[in-house]
Amino acid sequence: ETGVTQTPRHLVMGMTNKKSLKCEQHLGHNAMYWYKQSAKKPLELMFVYSLEERVENNSVPSRFSPECPNSSHLFLHLHTLQPEDSALYLCASSQDVGMGGHQETQYFGPGTRLLVL
Amino acid sequence: AQSVTQPDIHITVSEGASLELRCNYSYGATPYLFWYVQSPGQGLQLLLKYFSGDTLVQGIKGFEAEFKRSQSSFNLRKPSVHWSDAAEYFCAVADSSNTGKLIFGQGTTLQVKP
């Protein structure tokens, strides 16, 4: 399998549930990202990992907990979510995080459509 | 702070007609600019990018974009639209913080009439 994959593709959960989103990249990249795409809003960056170390936390509530066990896998653990957290969650990867004015191209997975009831 | 504006939320064109999607950015230095396309139920696919050099950038699927510093614009164009081009298009600029952060516009939904 190539590119960036995400599972599950669709998820329905109650506000008291705990679930996890999984992302896997098969590109040999060192950086991985979580984005949130809500209706009628621009994509919002949530977290950035570089070589399994978190380098950006974009003021995300603690009910979202990322985990990057290795450079190929990224998880987003969800607990006690709110209905307004319903959105498409996109994972992306890039060769490295942009440094020194150099920007790397990010490649996106298909997303997980999350509905919180 | 950096920002991206896509003035057109929704555009409808006839198949075979030309297309231009507008993108304006706010950025102090030389920007890194991207156009992505998202088909229904799919993730984002990179169409093209501008990092430096030639201001007219060629991308996949017959798309091109022109960087105009004087107008702070990076408009996407295609000379002849196909029905399969119906999708949502996002313009993005790289954040200057060296964390890989992309700032996205709100997107433009393209509808193609037969």
Query: What would the pLDDT profile of A9-64 be if each residue is shown by its tens digit?
Result: 999 999 888 999 999 999 999 999 999 999 878 889 999 998 888 887 778 999 99
Contacts of A53 (CB under 8 A, 6+ apart): A68
Average pLDDT of the residues in B77-102? 88
In the predicted structure, residue A2 carries a pLDDT above the cut 70 = no
User: Is the separation of the CB atoms in B48 and B72 below 8 Å?
Assistant: no
Chain A residues with beta carbon closer than 8 angstroms to that of B36: 108
> Which residue is closest to B39 within chain A, CA to CA?
A110
CB spacing of B4 vs A42 below 8 angstroms: yes
- Please enumerate, as own/partner, the contacts of B55-58 that have beta carbons within 8 Å and a separation of 24 or more: none
Query: What is the residue-averaged pLDDT of chain B?
Result: 91
Report the alpha-carbon distance of residue A56 to residue A60 in Å, rounded: 10
DSSP E strand stretches across chain B:
3-5, 10-14, 19-21, 24-26, 33-38, 44-50, 56-58, 64-68, 73-78, 87-94, 102-104, 108-113
State the DSSP code for A102: B
Strands B56-58 and B44-50: unpaired
Residue B14 pLDDT greater than 60, yes or no: yes
**How far does A110 lie from chain B, in Å, by closest CA?**
4
